[in-house]
A and B are shown apart, each in its own frame.
Chain A
């Protein structure tokens, strides 16, 4: 019996990372999510509904776009963009939300709650709640509500109630705390739609599975376009949902380099950073054992990035495992580099990409010229950048009305 329990516990882990470190009040609810996910993840009716919604509502498959201008300008590897920014609601977040909301519906839940950083996950959750006729409440750090006002209004338009979180440092980490607390208060009718590949099992696995549509498509698309696999996949990493989705189908293809781009803020070696994998250490927080920015006593650090979506002190357990086992490489990109990339991709390719995604674009600018012209990079544009235009203008000293 103990052996069986141990075995089932091991399946909740990626190497040493993962687990279910959550208050007892939530354990029954979490186990119910886990049981429902196990039941439906291979169920043909569930998968059919999921893929139909991805196709007919979210606008999938997303394009794999050959960035000819950037490729020529950088003079190295061929650059492709996986255009998650073209999804309905403007980001990869919709893939995961459709999946989780379908599970919630099958569990008989009528209310969705979620945390959000930049607002894209909140908008996606509010959208699907509207589509499914479900009640929706979103928790967002007060500072993030101020820097992403447009997304707050968008959520409200979609019928969601947005709670500005005033505890802690008032950003994404605190929004997760508040959403977890809100879940403990109303378990019976509520499903917590987690926005990234973080949290207690089964969330990292669910998010991995729902987001893996990104790499399933990109693999088919690149094989059709180039007749071979890419040499590198590049994606930005906060909690890591678009990155894990971008990596998923390539993890066993050892010749494909996987590169996650973290937000280094003012610099990896400063105290204003969110570069968790480079600067963090193993800890236990938000339901998971993973890598976190924290002090020697285990108090979680305040983190900083220009990008609200990457402003998180931890990373999903699967990324921690990929980093420790060296299957993936993680690099820090500063605010300056991300803003430069934001302007660069706009001018060279006519794409205004999310500041989060521009962390990945910034690394591609460094990487492509070091590779020969017969090499291929796929970079995921996780979201569109409309929400960031005013912030970038401000960063450059221009004041514009949103």
Chain B
């Protein structure tokens, strides 16, 4: 009997010891698929390096990856929250923070951030992506856009490639000069200014909102929770874009079809556009691949823009969309402290410097490195500072789709601008105003 008791006590002791030493496993949900292209592989390698370093530094915490498609991350977080399925660390997008703040499926990170030093905080708060992320997430990089242009074509039409447009009038004037019928068949072969108005979120974010903001308008009113894009500013913005296609004929009619990357990236690389607006920082690599820039991807202090170069869109200050992939903690996480520990490890300057996703560093101190001091990257920094997020409405997706559909009707059917904007705004407000 006594032997049995001793064996029992021994087993209980072993069990308690094993529980005490049990590892905590945190799951990190990302969207990088190693089979889906070199960019995915680069980012996954980076994440694996972060995981390895973190596990070494924190022997009691194990990291497991989860994969969710990039445009489903936020919706999956919401859906799983409702279904009672927990995640720990999860990538998130600021465009959905209106929805997350209503659903409360992401953890408010304020209690953790409060413990940060002033220096660390200031290293992040310089850019608008911080305001769009906090308190639901922490930005990992900066996605911003510029106008990409062909230096050789500038020279060909008698423009100085070092002097780019500084206002909208100059932008139109330059674009007209750059629009060319190279073979003399009466059809335009190279358009002066590429834009995209297809059925996608890019339409509102990169092409309509910046001009609406430039003309001092707003997409959505925070107080009344109503869409306001049919204002005078909205009419001016839509008219400006309409004129680019039909009056000045510097933007192709096919800007309304296809995908954002087809119309902007591929058309620019395919030499159909002399300038393209809304060119993302995530597309610096293809310029290097094409040989149009040298030593700029990855950035080096000797980097040079040869054939292609960029300049910040000449709209007013803070009238450009800038966003980021953020890192958040799921509200059902059973290990929020360990999760935040992982996030803090991930955003160390040395690691973030190597993060390939956005192309542009989110920490101000990293911009002091010589490779980011080149004129090319300095222009990206101006664009990064000159940004703002999308409105924090829980129905942002519907707002974006409404505006894209509205612009398609205006451009494709040449529908009257004020009436069409009003019609779509009323339609949106009848469903979502006040919510």
Q: Do A and B come from one complex?
A: no
B residues with CB within 8 A of A: none
A residues with CB within 8 A of B: none
